Amino acid sequence: MPIVPDTPIARHGPLHLYAHTIGCQMNEYDTQRAQHILGAQGYTPTTDIRQADVIFLNTCSVRAKAEQKVHSFLGRLRRLKKDNPRLIIIVAGCVAQQLGPDLLRRFEHLDLVLGTRAIPSIGSLLQRVVSRSERLAHLPESEEEGWESLLCKGELTIPGVVAPVTIMQGCDNFCSYCIVPHVRGRERSRRSGAILHEIDLLTRHGVKEVLLLGQNVNSYGKGLEEGLTFTELLRRIHDRTSVLRIRFTTSHPKDLTESLMGAFAELPRLCRWIHLPFQSGSDRILRQMNRSYTAARYMSLIDRLRSLRPDMGLSADVMVGFPGETEEDFRQTMQLIAAIRFDNLFSFSYSDRPGTSASQLPDKIPADVKARRLQELQKLQMDIVLDKNRAEIGGQREVLVEGFSKQSDGNQLTGRTEQNRIVNFQGPVDLVGQLVTVRIHNAFQHSLLGERTGHDDCRWNEAGQPRTQS
């Protein structure tokens, strides 16, 4: 089946695509891919949903709240479809994978349901929906090909300085609370050649930083004939492509090997930042979650990372209210947060997900207790973040300039440090895509404010060649 139809969809006037993502970074990536593919078919992105010819909703079922949002969003679209019967509504992602044709039955105004591996086919499927007035659910068993060939043929343009690259999908860990292995399937790694090729194409499109994505990136390579580990993949990307910065997410503590930690000290293009979910500070809860490590082991990994790179940026996921979580368990989680002092923390309340073993556990925590614990935890974390951001004042940071700050009136640039902190500063547009040195003079909860030093002491030149040794 051709990925992109030979002829544009026969409709009059400019076509508009409204895309909305609920959920994780993997979903963000799939939404971007869908936007690029439909962009090649003439669909211009719009932020005005009433202007849309196609509405693309990418969904997440990892948390009950995200799934509820999908249902209410779809419910609200009923009226729009009534006002504009030519409107096409597409649902993709985990909820689409989980419910499949059921979604078409539940929402009669929905046109296309795409499983988690079907994004590369969105163009041809949309054409079928438009030209034949079909309603379809497409849930392929394996990842559909075609993304790189579109890049190769120059049929896609990649806007932006930072691009995500999927290196593996699925997960074998079966954490007791998590639905991902049930909807995304078992781990499947992409061949290194395809990954390097994609990064090479992206850099030719002007991309300066890649974010390697997968549910469990540091177990990359399982089942691949080439017998490559994740650290070896990082080395290949580092040595064989000209991308200026490499990041990856998400990592599992049990797969954080000594060689991977060593890579942060050895590979200058690898950003000093890791997202390493810990979920709980209580060993009893960690066992019930099937996380395969203890709180002490997690802390020793952080100590090791910091001994290798004292400037390491750290973020994590944590959950409150897992079934049976006592005040003492929660206190241990708070102690771990206070001891490690993360730069960023994504915190959630536990919710039952269908088919998971935790959903069968007794001793569910009442909603008000979960809400109180979450609030306490978030207050602690906000204080830590502000404190750490303020400690940046007076220092200089290398910043990759990504574009204009959303809050500014068009003359404030925004970028990130290696540690993933957002830095805003005044500067001309031609700095976008460059590494510059910024002196920090103010700090807020979510960003830093600074000024360019004028002496860009950055380690790489435009062509990605080293300027100075790190």
Rule CB under 6 A: say whether 61 interacts with ligand SF4.
no
Judged by CB under 6 A, the number of residues near ligand SF4 is 10
Report the residue number, 173 or 447, with the smaller CB distance to ligand SF4.
173
Distance CA 379, CA 374 (A): 9
Report the residue number, 94 or 263, with the smaller CB distance to ligand SF4.
94
Of the residues 96, 167, 178, 212, which one makes contact with ligand SF4 according to CB under 6 A: 178
- Encoded amino acid at 460, one letter: W
Distance CA 204, CA 197 (A): 11
Q: What is the 3-state secondary structure (H, E, C) of 76-122?
A: HHHHHHHHCCCCEEEEEEHHHHHHCHHHHHHCCCCCEEECCCCHHHH
Report residue 415 as tokens: 């970028």
Distance CA 417, CA 437 (A): 10
- Cβ 184 to ligand SF4, closest distance in Å? 8
Report the residue number, 24 or 401, with the smaller CB distance to ligand SF4.
24
Distance CA 251, CA 56 (A): 29
- Cβ 355 to ligand SF4, closest distance in Å? 12
Given the rule CB under 6 A, which of 27-35, 120-128, 173-181, 331-339 is the region that contacts ligand SF4? 173-181
Of the residues 41, 46, 61, 216, which one makes contact with ligand SF4 according to CB under 6 A: 216
Of the residues 93, 123, 181, 313, which one makes contact with ligand SF4 according to CB under 6 A: 181
- Cβ 290 to ligand SF4, closest distance in Å? 8
Rule CB under 6 A: say whether 201 interacts with ligand SF4.
no
Rule CB under 6 A: say whether 173 interacts with ligand SF4.
yes
Distance CA 347, CA 469 (A): 38
From the CA atom positions of the chain, what is the Rg in Å? Answer: 23
Of the residues 37, 95, 180, 243, which one makes contact with ligand SF4 according to CB under 6 A: 180
Q: Peptide bond before 241: cis, by omega within 30 degrees of 0?
A: no
Is the CB of residue 109 less than 8 Å from the CB of residue 76? no
Given the rule CB under 6 A, which of 171-179, 202-210, 305-313, 323-331 is the region that contacts ligand SF4? 171-179
Using a 10 angstrom Cβ sphere, with 0-12 exposed, 13-18 middle and 19 or more buried, the burial of residue 342 is buried
Report the residue number, 3 or 260, with the smaller CB distance to ligand SF4.
260
**Contact residues: ligand SF4, CB under 6 A:** 171, 173-175, 178, 180-181, 215-216, 252
